[in-house]
Chains A and B, each alone.
Chain A
Amino acid sequence: MRIAVLSGKGGTGKTTVSASLAASLESCQYIDCDVEEPNGYIFLKPELYQNISVKVLVPEIDVMKCNGCGKCSKVCQFNAIAVVKRKVLVFPEICHHCGACTIACPNDAIHEIEREIGIVEMNGDETFLHGKLNIGEPISIPIIQELKRHIKKDMPVILDCSPGASCTVVCSIEGCDYCILVTEPTPFGFHDLKIAVQLVRKMEIPFGVVVNKASDASKIIHEFCKNENIEILMEIPFSREIASAYSQGILPTHSSMEWKEKFRELYKKLERGAAK
């Protein structure tokens, strides 16, 4: 079963939930899809052996063949090419690697060259994977795609998504059997939860909500979920103890058996929810 953990807002507790879940299950694969700032490794402490360089194809212009017609610039949907004085300027950071310019060129003057945008790291038996996007790179999808190429079929897979509800999240949750939406009972958390709900509904993936930092204010989340007929899977209380352990890289499941049991129960709920 593939489980994606997402939430609109950063710092809500995606990694708390996904890493705790991974730590509670006997065998599972944990994939950190938050490639801009992966932090699952801080808690799960894997030994990373392999790394794969992730490359994308960007256009290079053969100046001998190019006559500066400008067709490549017109066809580029991402404004990554400008043609100035019959000279082609390519902006590789903006390029979305679609290859349209190569097809559009009537003189066969464009060929694609590889450019590294980040790496994927994994441990020996590929039960822990994360990607790292190079600093300054805006497009992380190819790294998530590379991560997803290593998904195991014989054990539960937990995907820790990036914050928001953007392309990266869509790419991460695509093909998953269940989504856990982590939220916190604040106006920001609630606002982003509603967006995340829209996203998973649109993608027709079964989902449930985990309320992190739960307090008296959780009422807003409960009311919303009741009205929308969404299952609340679990509540993690607003606790100084959990927060201070977390700041030292210790998950709730590391320090108490009780939490381990709770996360196992959560997994059972997910299995039931995904089967529906």
Chain B
Amino acid sequence: MKICISSKGNSLDSMLDSRFGRADYFIIVDTDTMEFESIENTAATSGGGAGITSGQMMVDRDIKAVITGNVGPNAMSVLKAADIDIYRGMAISVKENIESFKRGLLEKIEATVPAHSGLGINGGQK
């Protein structure tokens, strides 16, 4: 099964990024083989609609579940429409989050955080 984790870096040892739409990287992992691919999130620095574009990315890549910290309202609409499950990861490495996910320890996210939560200082720009 293909899942995606929002991440601060581009490897399995990177930390989880608690933002979804404006995460720095997305790590796509096949949970059966543990093969992974990292994508830099080009939407992270967009002026608006980061969640929508990130959500669209998940849909286009046929992701079945997403592990992240928080999901905004627009991203939630896209992921819900595509029946992608969202799980709340912890502030630990991507690899550890995947292991927790496999053991069914992660809780599902049903509620959104307010729009623009992931913007932070300097409008999310690094």
Point out residues on A near B: beta carbons under 8 Å. Answer: 73, 78-85, 87, 89, 91, 94, 138
Contacts and interface: CB of A to CB of B under 8 A. Distances in A.
A79 B81 contact: no
Interface in B19-60: 43, 46-50, 52-53, 55-56, 59
A94 B81 contact: no
B59 A80 contact: no
Interface string B83-104: 0000000000000000000000
B78 interface: yes
A246 to B, nearest CB: 32
Contact of A82 (B46, B47, B48, B78): B78
A78 B52 CA distance: 10
B82 A79 contact: no
Contacts of A94: 48-49, 52, 74
22 contacts: A78-B47, A78-B49, A79-B46, A79-B53, A80-B52, A81-B52, A82-B53, A82-B59, A82-B81, A83-B56, A84-B78, A84-B81, A84-B82, A85-B81, A85-B82, A87-B81, A89-B77, A91-B49, A94-B48, A94-B49, A94-B52, A94-B74
Given A89-B81, A91-B74, A73 B47 contact: no
Contact of A79 (B50, B59, B77): B50
A84 B59 contact: yes
Interface residues of B, number: 16
Contact of B49 (A80, A83, A87): A80
Nearest to B53: A79
Nearest to B77: A89
A94 B73 CA distance: 13
Contacts of A81: 52
Contact of B48 (A79, A84, A85, A89): A79
B78 A79 contact: no
B14 to A, nearest CB: 25
Contacts of A79: 43, 46, 48-50, 52-53, 56
Nearest to A138: B48
Given A79-B49, A91-B74, 8 more contacts: A78-B49, A79-B52, A79-B56, A80-B49, A81-B52, A84-B82, A91-B52, A91-B77
A81 B47 CA distance: 15
Contacts of B74: 91, 94
Nearest to B81: A84
Contacts of A85: 59, 81-82
Contacts of B59: 82-85
Q: Which 10 A-B pairs have the closest CB atoms?
A: A79-B49, A84-B81, A79-B53, A84-B82, A82-B56, A82-B78, A94-B49, A79-B52, A84-B59, A82-B52
A91 B50 CA distance: 12
Contacts of B56: 73, 79, 82-84
Contacts of A138: 48
Contacts of A73: 56
B104 to A, nearest CB: 26
Nearest to A136: B115
B26 to A, nearest CB: 16
A78 B48 contact: yes
